[in-house]
Structure 1
Amino acid sequence: MARWWGAQPGTRVESIAERKIREAMERGEFDDLPGQGQPLKLGDRDPDWWVKGLLERENLRMPLPTSLQLRREAREIDETVADCRTEGAVRDVVEALNDRILDSHRRRVDGPPVVTATLDVDAVVARWRERRRG
């Protein structure tokens, strides 16, 4: 309980922050906020729940160490080549990624020791062709 000079003992005095919040509520500034009336999503005791929620909400990607970035790029290769206009462009993209993967095998890159296999260029091209037909 805050006490202000001249206030009667036992009398509660509103803080500046409380007053500003009350006035904003009276003006309706908190009306129609996203998630209003819904329980807070506080996570499953994961200490990084708020960071993960922010990344998901804002569609952000954390920069990954090279070893994990290569694995992600290999996993998402079909989406990466989806906008390529020619088979040659698809091959160039896949071969460039394969060169970076092989380079990571030859020298130590940052991140955990994750060995990513090179991609089968012909298989990626075949999937690309199939999606273009479909």
Structure 2
Amino acid sequence: MNISDAAYAVAHDYPGGCESLAPRMGMSANILRNKVNPNNTTHHLTLAEAVRMSQITGDARIAKAIAEELGYTLVETPRVEDCNDAAIVEMMGKAWETHGDVGKEICKTLDDGRVELKEVDRVESRIFTHAQVLFTLAARLRGMAN
């Protein structure tokens, strides 16, 4: 997902949409709709507004889109209370699942003997997701360290 689409989705997927989110951001719903409209050339969401919108909604899609655009993987820092043995076992299961997703996507890509750019994009997306899980696992272990 590109950055503009992510901003649009965060605003419109919030319960109540722009009408509910905009007052919490200190603006009218019409202004917020214009700022997140990818086709609008006169109103733009500032970086501070994008961060505030992400904080209010609890939705990190804008940050994830920025990271992906720059070739990075975004990893959520776990809370200390989430760093325990059960969380590690859960993350290991998720790591096995996402590793399998990478393999399945590669097999689908190679199945017809041709590799298309959209297929490579899907493989990369699965790899990014798998990397996020692995880095989160490492962060949770770090959180358990004395």
Please indicate, yes or no, whether the TM-score normalized by the shorter chain is above 0.5.
no
Q: TM-score range by the shorter chain?
A: 0.3 to 0.5
Largest Rg, 1 or 2: 1
Which has more helix, going by share of residues?
2
